[in-house]
Structure 1
Amino acid sequence: MSFSPESLEEFNSADADQVIALLSDLYGSTELATAVVAQRPFDSVDELCTTAQREFESMSDQLVMKSVQAHPPIGATVTAGSLSEKEQQAAMSSAERDKAAAMDRIRELNPKYQETFGHVFLIRASGLTSAEILERMEQRMGNDPDTEWAITREQLAGINELRVRGLFE
């Protein structure tokens, strides 16, 4: 990300193409980024997040799937310095002693999850230990595809909000 606003005011006044590029990286969706940027200026970060959530909820499953697939499988090797790396490391830094075993099991379940549901396992990992992530993954493996898709959309929305709020912290 080359553009990094230091304030909401800078975000609101920056060149639209710069902000679209920034949000596209965060969301994994140029369509969502474009829809959000078109509604600037925002009076607060809360308003920005609410607008993004509303736009996200109206996105087609096809567009959301494109955004989901922009995320690497949890526990997989991620690009150094990427948002995914930071989020996964934050989750793992609080993990207990059996972190390695839990991560091995997550890596083992990833292909089965993808085969079952047709997309990567997505979870808002911030603040979760590897054991908690594994527990949720195992629980979600029992879901029917429609239930799991609804949860995946919810998790992606949470990740999007976390990333946008992180811009201004």
Structure 2
Amino acid sequence: MSAVLSSHDALTLADINQLDRVRFVAALGGVFEHSPWVATQAWAERPFASIDHLHRTMIGVVRATSREVRIDFLRMHPELAGKEAQAGTMTDHSTAEQAGLNALTRDELQTLRRLNAEYAAKHGFPFIIAVLKNTRSQIFEALRTRTGRDTDTELDAAIEQISIITRLRLGRLLAH
């Protein structure tokens, strides 16, 4: 394995298990949006028996933190079709995952922005959903429904959606 990994290198689980902490975080630190601390903490649990084991460990790191840290973690995520998308400043992962939202009509975009604002005002973090696992209508319906929930329930739902998103990301990053 080369000393430096490029973002295009296909890694295997065996490769991941052999990486030192710095290379492990370089390879997997972006799986959880702007949160390389997740990979840093998960590294100590190597070796991983499967991609699912790696993912369970990483999402477990997030779930084991305090409520305040989880909320701060959620705030690191971009709003659906929000300012980051318009400015082109989202991570490569998020850009690819939100690609289907680029084709929203002007009315849909205005509705999404209004619903995002209502959600964030109520819960204190952006609405998070696994866009690749939902249709446009399902996303809008989930946003309306989830805005009405209590924040603790929604905090759990947002972490569950991140679990789905990050498992998909790991699957794309690691060769089977």
When normalised by structure 1's length, the TM-score is 0.83
Q: Name the aligned partner's letter for residue 58 of structure 2.
A: A
Alignment partner, residue 73 of structure 1: 79
**1:132 Cα deviation (Å)?**
1.5
Q: Deviations over 1:39-96 (max 9, x none)?
A: 112121122122223323212222222321221100121436611110011x448x8x
Alignment partner, residue 159 of structure 2: 153
Q: Contact 2:31–2:166 at 8 Å: present in 1 too?
A: yes
Alignment partner, residue 95 of structure 2: 85
Distance 1:63 1:31, change over 3 A: farther
Percent of aligned pairs with the same amino acid: 29
Measure the CA separation in 1 of the matches of 2:18 and 2:110.
45
Q: Please give the root-mean-square deviation of Cα atoms over the aligned residues, in Å.
A: 2.3
Helix, strand or coil at the partner of 1:79: coil
Distance 1:2 1:32, change over 3 A: same
Alignment partner, residue 57 of structure 1: 63
**1:8 Cα deviation (Å)?**
1.1
Helix, strand or coil at the partner of 1:112: helix
Query: Unaligned regions of 5+ residues in structure 2, if any?
Result: none
**1:159 Cα deviation (Å)?**
1.9
Helix, strand or coil at the partner of 1:74: coil
State how 1:21-60 maps to structure 2 within 5 Å: 21-27=26-32, 28-60=34-66
Measure the CA separation in 1 of the matches of 2:115 and 2:151.
16
Q: Deviations over 1:86-114 (max 9, x none)?
A: 0011x448x8xxx4243331122212211
Q: Contact 1:92–1:128 at 8 Å: present in 2 too?
A: no
**1:11 Cα deviation (Å)?**
1.4
Which of residues 5, 11, 18 in structure 1 aligns to 2:16? Answer: 11
Q: Contact 1:102–1:131 at 8 Å: present in 2 too?
A: no
- Please identify runs of 4+ aligned residues in structure 1 that moved more than 4 A: 1-5
Alignment partner, residue 108 of structure 1: 114
Q: Contact 1:49–1:161 at 8 Å: present in 2 too?
A: yes
**1:24 Cα deviation (Å)?**
2.5
Query: Unaligned regions of 5+ residues in structure 1, if any?
Result: none
Measure the CA separation in 2 of the matches of 1:32 and 1:122.
18
**1:17 Cα deviation (Å)?**
0.7
Q: How many residues align?
A: 164
When normalised by structure 2's length, the TM-score is 0.80
